[in-house]
Amino acid sequence: MQNRILLVEDDQAIADAVALNLKIVGYDYARFEDGRAAADSLIEDHAFDLALLDIMLPGMDGFELLGHVKKYGIPVIYMTAKADAASEIKGLLDGAEDYVIKPFDMMTLMVRMEKVLLRTGRLNRIYRAGDVELDDYRHEVYKAGERVELRPLEYGVLLYLMKHKNLTVTREQLLSEVWGFEYMGESRSVDVKISSLRRKLGLGDAIKTVQKLGYRLEDR
Amino acid sequence: MKLRHKISLLAGSILLLVLLICAGALLLYARKTILALAEDQAKDKQSALAASFSSMARYYSVPEDSDAARESLIRYCFTQFADQEGVLMRGSEPLCSSVSVDPSLYAVPDREDARTAVYQGKVDGRQLLIVASLEWVQADTLYVGLVRDITEVYDAMARLTRLFLLVCAAGVVLGMGLLFLAVKKSTAPLSRLTAATGEIAAGAYDKRVTVSGRDEVSDLGRSFNRMAEAVENRIADLTEQNERQRLFIGGVSHEFKTPLAAVRLHGDLLQSAKLSEAERADSLQHIRRAGAYMTRMTQSLMELLLLDQGIETEETDPADLLIAVESAARDSLATRGVTLVIDRQAASPLPLNRTLMTSLLLNLIENAARSYDPEDGDKTVTLRACGRCFEVSDHGRGIPAEAQARIFEPFYRVDKSRSRKQGGSGLGLALVKAIADAHGATLSLQSEPSRGTTFRVQF
């Protein structure tokens, strides 16, 4: 089951960007522009794993909305343009799990979302792309229901690509996240793992090489 | 050296000098008077002696007397009147004397005019006063002298002088002590001033000194308090101005964050995500809008900054200005279905800056146009020139009473998300206010919720 996110943001441009990002990496979401409308809808539907709340909202501000969200045990990440320490601390003391300050980049938000979901035990760790399924609970990978054996680094690269499905990940990101060190001059090892993943899982078309950037696991 | 020490020393020295001069003059006068008195007494006594002696001697003597007889007669007559001060001599030969000095060596009467001679001076360690005259008895010229010892008078005068000096010294010491206390008391406010100045310099701008009395030091204290107050007010002004600027800059950077976040997020998406054509177009549109919004905000900010440097005005016919405003606004309004009505009355020229006043009116018209929802029926904005004023009216949603006081603050929005959607920079009315202020015009508004709003710029 996909993780379901409550997104409350009144700026349409930002809400569109975040929503689109959530959609393409495989999250389900419900979005609201008005704090009160979001609070009201929670009464009927509160099956969310995480809430992304703006603070300056019409109808009801993010601080007040937090109370309604916490009532259902949903962890909260604030997205705010208020950079002053006071509102950060207030947000965290009120029970927000984390916050990001605008302008933020999507990678930062996704990493924080994943950490909060993991910490609260809500992270869905089964990822799918096409007929490939990665079960991160058991560290197993299936292709059309058939188990496929992967080397640890191959598994790490596939997991990272799955987590950022439909987004381009750079070789540097892969090196630092999977290999665990900053790239020191040789990125061929990444290319080697990618080609063995393509071969073993039949992902030749799905894993796209993005010129000058890196790779993208496509599933749309 | 402290001021009070300086003043005390200076005043003490002057006091000492004046006392010395006065005492000296007094002493000299007293000495002269005492000596003159003593001399007069001695003269009186000598002339009485001389007169009595000579008249008796002349009465009894006859020319036929032998020298020896005459000499005894003269001696006899002299002793009848003289005491131990009297001296009788013939030539340099003492006939009758009980003093050890020879007075004829000091007091020498003139033989011609028969005047009395007076000598006063020191002889053999004693102060002597000698008065002498010449008397004639028959053929003898007799020297009648009076030798008076006035050493005691001199001693008394010396004692008096010493006493005087002692009194003077005591007076000066006492005077200086009192002076020092008095100066210390009257300069105490200066010390307090110094302390207060130090505290103010260290940042305690609300510090004042307590002032009483009407002398110069109190005046200084009062001036100082006035100065301290001026400094405090100025600092408060500057602090407030600084705070306003800080808030404004905070507001500006806050306002930029949302469009920047949009640009960044959509930029990331466009660069790295697999998007459909429609999604790609949406993202690009968001970036374009954010860019346009930031451009408008930057322009408004530039205008606000330039306004701070003062403006140039020229006599302008309001009718001409309205024609320019109308042509600039009409197209953009027409695409949104808003009608602009111009109500031009004959008016005399006004001193204004064409560019800025155009900007002001366009901002008010834009603001009025936004008071309508797209689905509203009759969307009319009226621009009126009325004597020495301009008015922009709409009959849109109006401004709530609680928002009217804050509507001209930078980044204040009655309805934040509405304003954003309509592309408002949050600076439009702040700019309107700043331009009106720069022209010395007053800006007012009348508004009733759901009935409409009228903004008025009155010259």
> What is the C-alpha to C-alpha distance for residues A106 and B160, in angstroms, rounded to an integer?
110
Task: Provide mean pLDDT across the span A141-151.
Answer: 93
Highest-confidence segment of A213-217, B137-141, B406-410: A213-217
Judge whether A107 is closer than 8 Å to chain B, CB to CB.
yes
Query: For A195, what's the count of Cα atoms within 13 Å in the CB-facing half-sphere?
Result: 4
Domain ranges of chain B: 3-165, 205-307, 310-458
Which residue has tokens 């495989």? A26
What pLDDT is attached to residue A185? 59
Q: Are residues A168 and A206 in the same domain?
A: yes
Question: Quick one: closest CA in B to A84, which residue?
Answer: B250
* ipTM score: 0.88
Greater model confidence, B350 or A32? A32
> What is the C-alpha to C-alpha distance for residues A96 and B34, in angstroms, rounded to an integer?
112
Nearest by CB: B268 against A56, A106, A166: A106
The pLDDT tens digits of the residues spanning A9-55 come to 988 899 999 999 999 999 999 999 999 999 999 999 999 999 999 98
Give CA B310 to chain center in angstroms. 35
Question: Quick one: closest CA in B to A169, which residue?
Answer: B272
Of A119, A144, A169, the residue at which a domain comes to its end is A119
Q: Are residues A113 and A153 in the same domain?
A: no
- B324 burial level (CB within 10 Å; 0-12, 13-18, 19+): middle
CATH of the domain at A132: 1.10.10.10
Which residue has tokens 């690509």? A161
Kindly report which listed range (A47-61, B32-46, B366-380) carries the lowest average pLDDT score.
B366-380
**Helix H or strand E segment including B196:** helix B151-201
What pLDDT is attached to residue B455? 93
Q: Which of chain B's residues have a Cβ under 8 Å away from the Cβ of A106?
A: 265, 268-269
Q: Are residues A144 and A202 in the same domain?
A: yes
What pLDDT is attached to residue B376? 81
Of B56, B119, B54, B49, which is closest to residue B86 (Cα–Cα)? Answer: B49
Contacts A–B by Cβ distance under 8 A: 95
Which residue has tokens 């001036």? B223
What pLDDT is attached to residue B113? 72
A217: which 2 tokens? 């696991």
Q: Are residues A99 and A144 in the same domain?
A: no
Nearest 5°: CA angle at A53, between A47 and A55?
150
Instruction: Give the residue numbers spanning the domain of A131.
Output: 126-217
Q: Are residues A176 and A79 in the same domain?
A: no
- For chain A, what is the domain count? 2
* CATH architecture of residue range(s) B310-458: 2-Layer Sandwich (3.30)
* Closest-CA distance of chain B to residue A166, Å: 5
Mean residue pLDDT of chain B comes to 86
Give CA B333 to chain center in angstroms. 64
> What is the C-alpha to C-alpha distance for residues A185 and A31, in angstroms, rounded to an integer?
43
* Confidence check: pLDDT of B278 > 90: yes
Q: Are residues A10 and A115 in the same domain?
A: yes
Judge whether B289 is closer than 8 Å to chain A, CB to CB.
yes
Cβ separation of A168 and B271 shorter than 8 Å?
Answer: yes
Confidence of residue B416 (pLDDT cuts 50, 70, 90): low
Q: Are residues A115 and A142 in the same domain?
A: no
Task: Give the DSSP per-residue string, A27-94.
Answer: -EEEEES-HHHHHHHHHH----SEEEEESS-SSS-HHHHHHHHHTTT--EEEEES--SHHHHHHHHHT
β-strands A76-80, A98-101 pairing: parallel
| Mutate: best of A36, A57, A167, partner B, most B CBs <10 A | A167
Task: Provide mean pLDDT across the span B165-194.
Answer: 85
- B287 burial level (CB within 10 Å; 0-12, 13-18, 19+): buried
How does DSSP classify residue B125?
T
Mean residue pLDDT of chain A comes to 89
Which residue has tokens 């000596």? B35
What CATH number has the domain spanning B3-165? 3.30.450
CATH of the domain at A109: 3.40.50.2300
Q: Are residues A105 and A165 in the same domain?
A: no
Q: Are residues A107 and A19 in the same domain?
A: yes
Would you say A16 and B263 are in contact if contact means Cβ atoms under 8 Å apart? no
Nearest by CB: B274 against A34, A82, A166: A166
Greater model confidence, B345 or A109? A109
Task: Provide mean pLDDT across the span A126-148.
Answer: 92
* Closest-CA distance of chain B to residue A5, Å: 18
Could you tell me the end-to-end alpha-carbon distance of chain A, in angstroms, rounded to an integer? Answer: 18
Q: Are residues A132 and A157 in the same domain?
A: yes
Q: Are residues A156 and A50 in the same domain?
A: no
Greater model confidence, B313 or B421? B313
Confidence of residue A213 (pLDDT cuts 50, 70, 90): confident
The pLDDT tens digits of the residues spanning B75-111 come to 899 988 988 889 998 888 888 888 888 888 888 888 7
Q: Are residues A17 and A115 in the same domain?
A: yes
